Amino acid sequence: MIFTAFFKALGQLGDRRFRRVVGLGILLALAILMAVYAGFLQLIWWLTPESLDIPFVGPVTGIETLLGWASLLLMIGLSVFLMVPVAAAFSGLFLEDVVDAVEDRHYPHLPPAVPLGWMEGLRQSINFLGLVIAVNAASLLVYPFAGPLLPVVFWVVNGFLLGREFFMLVALRRLPPEAAAALRRRNAFRLWAAGTLMAVPLSIPLVNLAIPVLGVATFTHLFHRMAAESP
């Protein structure tokens, strides 16, 4: 079920609305990453002295520039972790466009859904963003002990969060909150696995820019399949 939903979503990437949202998502991701990098770079400039006296060498200048280039490489690595919050922000802001495109193509017989609305989507994104940051901050206590399993721990933790969020955002368009939560609980393991499928490519630079679109589309298919199976 999960891979069928994912490949259906992948097959629709050429859709005009998908391309538009992918473009907006790339701009959003780049804006967030550049803002974080600019703040990080400013912090380096504030904390780094103009020169440093090294024994037997003398004063060394240009430390800020050296650290600036090093910080660029660091931010490229950190972008793997930053893309999960970016996906969280994306999911609420561009949800309707992606879900409407999927439903128009694959589920044209359905009655119109009740959209969450821009403000509600923004509220959901902010709440989820806070949860993602809090959980990943707490996970920093575990990461140093994970060793070679660090990527797996990252994928599993964020897979649970992404699966829960993507599903609920899609489900709330067509179900009351209680019914959506009940359907989520009945399919908790499958949603976790699907969220992990999204979390793995989120850790691959450049590829991760298209994943929020594919995530929302994939969970739209999953929701309709699970709703049809529900008694």
Given pLDDT bands bounded at 50, 70 and 90, which one contains residue 138? confident
Q: With beta carbons less than 8 A apart as the criterion, state whether 95 and 216 touch.
A: yes
> What are 103's two structure tokens?
């439903």
Query: How large is the average pLDDT for residues 37-61?
Result: 56
Would residue 223 count as lying in a domain? Answer: yes
Q: With beta carbons less than 8 A apart as the criterion, state whether 169 and 95 touch.
A: yes
Answer left, alpha or beta for residue 30, where phi above 0 means left and psi between -120 and 50 means alpha: alpha
Q: What percent of the chain has pLDDT over 70?
A: 71
Would residue 135 count as lying in a domain? Answer: yes
**Which is more confidently placed, 96 or 5?**
5
Query: How large is the average pLDDT for residues 78-102?
Result: 71
The residue range of the domain holding 100 is 2-16+79-229
Would residue 123 count as lying in a domain? Answer: yes
* Range with top average pLDDT, 72-81, 113-122, 144-153, 205-214: 144-153
Provide the pLDDT for residue 196: 92
Provide the pLDDT for residue 177: 87
Would residue 150 count as lying in a domain? Answer: yes
Alpha-carbon 14 to chain mean position = 21
Q: Please name the residues in contact with 165: beta carbons below 8 A apart, sequence gap of 6 or more.
A: 88, 91, 124, 128
Would residue 219 count as lying in a domain? Answer: yes
Would residue 72 count as lying in a domain? Answer: no
Given pLDDT bands bounded at 50, 70 and 90, which one contains residue 226? very high
Provide the pLDDT for residue 187: 94
C-alpha dist (Å) from residue 212 to 49, 159, 186: 41, 13, 24
As for how many domains the chain has, the answer is 1
Would residue 86 count as lying in a domain? Answer: yes
How many angstroms separate the CA atoms of 88 and 96, rounded?
14
How many angstroms separate the CA atoms of 75 and 53, rounded?
28
Q: With beta carbons less than 8 A apart as the criterion, state whether 170 and 219 touch.
A: yes
Is the pLDDT at 199 greater than 60? The verdict is yes
How many angstroms separate the CA atoms of 3 and 7, rounded?
6
Would residue 39 count as lying in a domain? Answer: no
Burial of 57 (0-12, 13-18, 19+ CB in 10 A): exposed
pTM, entire model: 0.76
* Range with top average pLDDT, 10-14, 43-47, 101-105, 148-152: 101-105
User: Amino acid identity, residue 54?
Assistant: I
> What are 124's two structure tokens?
């959901």
Could you identify the residue written with the tokens 């912090």? Answer: 43
